[in-house]
């Protein structure tokens, strides 16, 4: 699947979460996503960026504009080199939190995207990729 455009953003401090939200919204607008889909993308990006910072100790976001025939999409890939997730199945369950939150970040991001992939190993970090199509 061809990638039209790719850009990377650092997630190192709380202010970077705001910058990620702005970059995702801007790219979603440029690609012609409607307001509902823009909001879904920004919400998922906000949760995953916050997780990257809080649990992964910081990392990166790669935004990729996609084309698949007549479809256009936006893929967001969050990567860190933190401690990783020991039990992905448990972490994906609604209500599971290691920090006392609502435990809806990962499962919520999965529900807000059309495609969701997670790869994490203890001691090796985490990589989460979501894609939304319009």
CATH code, 112: 3.30.565.10
Could you give the number of structural domains in the chain?
Answer: 1
Quick check: 103 pLDDT over 50? no
CA angle 19, 25, 26 (to 5 degrees): 90
Length of the chain: 134
CA angle 123, 126, 132 (to 5 degrees): 175
Lowest model confidence (mean pLDDT) among 18-27, 93-102, 114-123: 93-102
How far is 75 from 64, CA to CA, in rounded Å?
5
Continuous segment of H or E residues that includes residue 117:
strand 115-121
Mean pLDDT along residues 34-49: 96
Contact between residue 64 and residue 31 where contact means Cβ atoms under 8 Å apart: no
**Domain housing 49:** 3-133
Contact between residue 80 and residue 58 where contact means Cβ atoms under 8 Å apart: yes
What local confidence, expressed as pLDDT, does residue 94 receive? 62
Residue 102 confidence class, pLDDT cut points 50, 70, 90: very low
Q: Mean pLDDT, the chain, as a whole number?
A: 89
């Amino acid at each position: 699947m061809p990638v039209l455009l790719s850009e990377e953003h650092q997630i190192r401090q709380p202010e970077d979460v705001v910058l990620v939200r702005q970059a995702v919204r801007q790219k979603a607008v440029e690609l012609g996503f409607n307001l509902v889909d823009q909001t879904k993308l920004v919400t998922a990006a906000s949760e995953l960026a916050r997780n990257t910072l809080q649990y992964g100790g910081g990392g990166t976001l790669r935004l990729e504009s996609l084309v698949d025939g007549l479809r256009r999409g936006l893929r967001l890939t969050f990567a860190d080199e933190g401690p990783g997730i020991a039990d992905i199945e448990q972490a994906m369950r609604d209500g599971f939190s290691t920090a006392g939150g609502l435990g809806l970040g990962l499962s919520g991001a999965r529900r807000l995207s059309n495609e969701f992939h997670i790869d994490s190993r203890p001691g090796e970090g985490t990589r989460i990729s979501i894609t939304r199509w319009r």
